[in-house]
Amino acid sequence: MTVEINPAGIWDSEAIADVAAATFPLACPPGATQDDIAEFIDDVLSAERFSEYLTDPNRTVLKVTHGGSIVGYAMLIDGEPADPEVGKVVSLRPTTEISKLYVLPGNHGTGVSAAMMNAIVERAVDAGCAGLWLGVNQENIRAQRFYTKHGFKRVGTKTFVVGTQLHHDFVMQRAL
Ligand SMILES: CC(C)(COP(=O)(O)OP(=O)(O)OC[C@H]1O[C@@H](n2cnc3c(N)ncnc32)[C@H](O)[C@@H]1OP(=O)(O)O)[C@@H](O)C(=O)NCCC(=O)NCCS
């Protein structure tokens, strides 16, 4: 499958928000309510929020395109983890967070996500990072398996708020 991976621009905000709304529910545990998921999408994954992310100098949004359509995206955040508890378990510096990595379901298991991960690693190495870290829901076994295949190891836990619910994540880290 031929895909292109490039940094997204502000003009991509609407298209990436559409992919985000379609894929965020896939990462949620079965107990997450539709209302809580909808609230999170409205608050955190709207086109307006992506236009903010796309102009934040500490963030990079990568888009993966197939046949002219965006089929996935990743958001990277450079610098010290905002949560000091995460900062204690993430041992490598400088570090970058893979804050989001989402691919449309029709493209799972095709190598698109691996291509995204390779692009993320290449960018982080070029930027002089020593490590990458991420949070993944403790019930999201598919994503954990994907990250493990790509060299990430569990280093701790954290929580993540979706609407009215507190979700439980593993923190994973990989050296570069
Ligand atoms: C996470 C994601 C990017 C991984 O991409 P992918 O193309 O699915 O990844 P791969 O197919 O290369 O790897 C997934 C692994 O999980 C396995 N797997 C698939 N479904 C599974 C399931 N229900 N339970 C356990 N393992 C599963 C696959 O067999 C594969 O392992 P293998 O290569 O050893 O056979 C993609 O699934 C995705 O976008 N998911 C929805 C959003 C999400 O969860 N994002 C991550 C948020 S932290």
Taking the centre of ligand 1 as the mean of its atom positions, its distance from the CA of residue 119, in whole angstroms, is 18
DSSP the chain: ---EEEE--GGGHHHHHHHHHHHGGGGS-TT--HHHHHHHHHHHSSHHHHHHHTT-TTEEEEEEEETTEEEEEEEEEESS-SSHHHHHH---SSEEEEEEEEE-GGGTTTTHHHHHHHHHHHHHHHTT-SEEEEEEETT-HHHHHHHHHTT-EEEEEEEEEETTEEEEEEEEEEE-
Ligand 1 near 29 CB (within 6 A) = no
Ligand 1 near 127 CB (within 6 A) = no
Confidence of residue 1 (pLDDT cuts 50, 70, 90): confident
Ligand 1 near 60 CB (within 6 A) = no
Taking the centre of ligand 1 as the mean of its atom positions, its distance from the CA of residue 170, in whole angstroms, is 16
If you average pLDDT over every residue of the chain, what do you get? 97
Superfamily of domain 4-175 in CATH is Gcn5-related N-acetyltransferase (GNAT) (3.40.630.30)
Kindly give the pairing relationship between strand 165-175 and strand 153-162. Answer: antiparallel
Q: State yes or no: pLDDT of 83 exceeds 90.
A: yes
Indicate which residue's Cα is closest to atom 11 of ligand 1. Answer: 109
Q: pLDDT per residue over 3-37, tens digit each?
A: 999 999 999 999 999 999 999 999 999 999 999 99
User: From the alpha carbon of 104, which atom of ligand 1 is closest?
Assistant: 39
- Cα separation, 101 vs 74, in Å, equals 4
- Cα separation, 42 vs 45, in Å, equals 6
Q: State yes or no: pLDDT of 132 exceeds 90.
A: yes
Ligand 1 near 140 CB (within 6 A) = yes
Indicate which residue's Cα is closest to atom 16 of ligand 1. Answer: 142
